Amino acid sequence: MPDQSQSGPSRAKPDSPRRQQPRRVTMKDVAKRAGVSQPTVSFVLNDRRDVSVAEKTRARVLKAAKELNFQPNQAARALRSNKSYTIGVIADRIISEPYAGQIVLGVQQAVQPSGYVCFVVETSRSADAVDAAVHNLIAQGVAGLIYAAPGPEPVHAAVTESDVRTIFVNCWADNVEGVPQILADEYQGGRDAAAAAFAAGHRRVAYLGGPPEDYATKERERGLVDAAVEAGVAPESIRREHRDYHVNSGYELALKVLAEDKPTAMICGNDRIAVGALMAAHSAGLNCPDDISILGFDDQPDIAAQLHPPLTTVALPHLEMGLQAGKLLLAGDEPQGRRLVPCTFIPRGSLAGPRTG
């Protein structure tokens, strides 16, 4: 008679160890470690100040929770408190921009310690997508909304009856008034870049900017003009050219300027324009920074620091803008108006004094 143990599908060996998911630490575990009741743990971890708990007991509970790496059940917490722990981020193309994506990182870093998470929706400049996303997020009870864009510009905002707190980061509403905004101080950044060129001794300077109607272009150029006045340089002596923010535009504009005005420094509206300007300088037989200095703007990852020579530029504060937005959402006061976050001047090898003789 055949051995029945050998027929049928193979079975796991009885002594084969099975992986088990680690058990979630509960308030009961914290209570046992701290030597207190479970309700006391709940009062402490939910910061119930209306219930009297001795400070020594409170400290003991917090220490036990930290030692056990206790993580609160946010779903249950939200149900008990009737409070959402989700922040909705309406992202307009920032997911595809490596440096602008720092805005989302900043928001998350600001809200995560308080138990919140970000829910990011990419809308790709579609007003219908914005309206649908915002209404869905509000229906799910988000604690706040943040609109974010890769560059300072107007964006469509959904019109709702909800009083959910809303902040615009690197953008502003083109159809809603009075909503708080957090923007980079483009004027200060442009002024710092130009001031560095003038401080290095440059007087024959060209500015290669983005579209003339663009907010960032206008603010950076306004900073350039004020820096020129402070340095005793006539603003009208600065050659100014405008196109889009791409490498090819920088290349063509720089070739034109180099052939006509022979500047000793070119201040560029962003790092991509600066890359094109550097290529044009090489095409014209000029060495940077010996023959000409080149400055950018943005401090774009994998570009500015990797060029030869490394690009002197201005870093946009995307991470700090996100941090401030997250903190404002969690604050008790309703934020108002426009808040400007300083840019950071980054000196590198592409800026030197003009060649003499």
Q: Looking at residue 5, what is its pLDDT?
A: 40
111 lies in the same domain as 173 = yes
Helices (H) and strands (E) in the chain, counts: 11, 12
d(CA 355, CA 352): 9
Tell me the pairing of strands 144-155 and 117-122: unpaired
Domain span at residue 44 reads: 27-68
Whole-angstrom distance, CA of residue 20 vs CA of residue 42: 28
Number of structural domains the chain divides into: 3
351 is a domain residue: no
Q: Which tens digit of pLDDT belongs to each residue from 192-230?
A: 999 999 999 999 999 999 999 999 999 999 999 999 999
Q: Are residues 220 and 308 in the same domain?
A: yes
* Per-residue model confidence as pLDDT tens digits over 76-92: 454 344 457 899 999 88
In whole angstroms, what is the distance from residue 85 CA to residue 331 CA? 14
In this structure, are 110 and 145 located in the same domain? yes
- Assigned domain for 135 exists: yes
Residue 161's pLDDT band (boundaries 50, 70, 90)? confident
Give the per-residue pLDDT at 46.
72
- Output the domain CATH number for residue 253: 3.40.50.2300
Residues 140 and 235 in one domain: no
- Average pLDDT in the 340-346 region? 98
Tokens read off for 78: 């939200």
Q: Answer yes or no: do 50 and 164 share one domain.
A: no
Whole-number Cα distances in Å, 274 to 14, 197, 206, 286: 68, 14, 12, 14
Q: Are residues 153 and 32 in the same domain?
A: no
Region 52-77 average pLDDT: 80
pLDDT of 6-58, one tens digit each?
444 444 444 444 444 456 788 888 899 999 998 888 888 877 766 788 889 98
Within this chain, do residues 171 and 52 fall inside the same structural domain, yes or no? no
Clarify whether residues 195 and 173 are in a common domain.
no
- pLDDT over 80 at 73, yes or no: no
Q: Is residue 333 in a domain?
A: no
